[in-house]
Amino acid sequence: MTSTRPAATAADKSLGPVLLWIRGSIRRKLLLVLLPGLLLVFSAELWLASRTASEAADAAYDRSLLGAVKSIDSSISTASGGLGVELPYRMLKFFELTANGQVYYRVATEDGLVEIGSSELPLPPKPLLTGIPQFHEGVYFGEPVRVGSYARELTTPLAGQSTPQRVVVQVAETLEARTDFRRGLILNSVARDFLLVAVATTLFGLTIAWAMRPLARMRQDVEARAPRDLTPMRSEGVPAELLPLVGAINHHIQRNREQTEARRQFVDDASHQLRTPLTTLATQVAYAQRAADPVALRTVMDNIRQQLDETIRQTNQMLSLAKADSAAPELETLDAVVLAEDMVRRWWPVAREQGVDLGLQAPDAKLRFQGEPGLLKEALSNLLHNAIRHGGTGCHVTLAVVADTETVRFSVVDDGPGLPADELARAGERFFRGHSVQVQGSGLGLAIARTVAQRHGGALQVSGGPEGRGLAVSITLARAGETSMSLASGYAGIP
Q: What is the pLDDT of residue 95?
A: 61
The number of angstroms, rounded, from the C-alpha of 482 to the middle of its chain's C-alpha atoms is 33
% of the chain at pLDDT higher than 90: 5
176, 183 contact by CB (below 8 A): no
Q: Please tell me the CATH code under which domain 230-326 is placed.
A: 1.10.287
198, 114 contact by CB (below 8 A): no
* Cα–Cα dist 331/327, whole Å: 12
Q: What is the pLDDT of residue 97?
A: 56
CATH of region 332-493, choose from 3.50.50.60, 1.10.3720.10, 3.30.565.10, 3.40.50.300: 3.30.565.10
401, 337 contact by CB (below 8 A): yes
Instruction: State the DSSP code for 479.
Output: -
User: Residues of 214-245 as b/e, b for ≥16 C-beta within 10 angstroms?
Assistant: beeebeeeeeeeeeeebeeeeeeebeeeeeee
Residue 361: burial class (beta carbons within 10 Å; 0-12, 13-18, 19+): middle
* Cα–Cα dist 125/360, whole Å: 106
User: Residues of 448-458 as b/e, b for ≥16 C-beta within 10 angstroms?
Assistant: bbbbbbebbeb
* Cα–Cα dist 413/436, whole Å: 19
478, 458 contact by CB (below 8 A): yes
166, 152 contact by CB (below 8 A): yes
Q: What is the pLDDT of residue 401?
A: 92
* Cα–Cα dist 167/390, whole Å: 129
pLDDT band with cut points at 50, 70 and 90 for residue 420: low
Ranking 30-34, 92-96, 312-316 by mean pLDDT, the lowest is 92-96
- The whole-model pTM stands at 0.44
Q: What is the pLDDT of residue 491?
A: 30
Q: What is the pLDDT of residue 242?
A: 77
pLDDT band with cut points at 50, 70 and 90 for residue 257: confident
76, 150 contact by CB (below 8 A): no
Q: Tell which residue, 322, 328, 329, 343, has the closest CA to residue 430.
A: 322
Query: What would the pLDDT profile of 324-347 be if each residue is shown by its tens digit?
Result: 656 666 788 889 999 999 989 988
Strand pairing report for 134-140 and 143-153: antiparallel
pLDDT band with cut points at 50, 70 and 90 for residue 38: confident
pLDDT band with cut points at 50, 70 and 90 for residue 305: confident
Q: What is the pLDDT of residue 223?
A: 81
230-326 and 332-493 share one fold: no
Return the amino acid letter for 281.
L
Q: What are phi and psi of 245, to 5 degrees?
A: -65, -45
pLDDT band with cut points at 50, 70 and 90 for residue 269: low
Is pLDDT above 50 for 355?
A: yes
Domain map (residue ranges) of the chain: 15-155+164-211, 230-326, 332-493
Is pLDDT above 70 for 427?
A: no
Counts of helices then strands in the chain (DSSP H, E): 11, 15
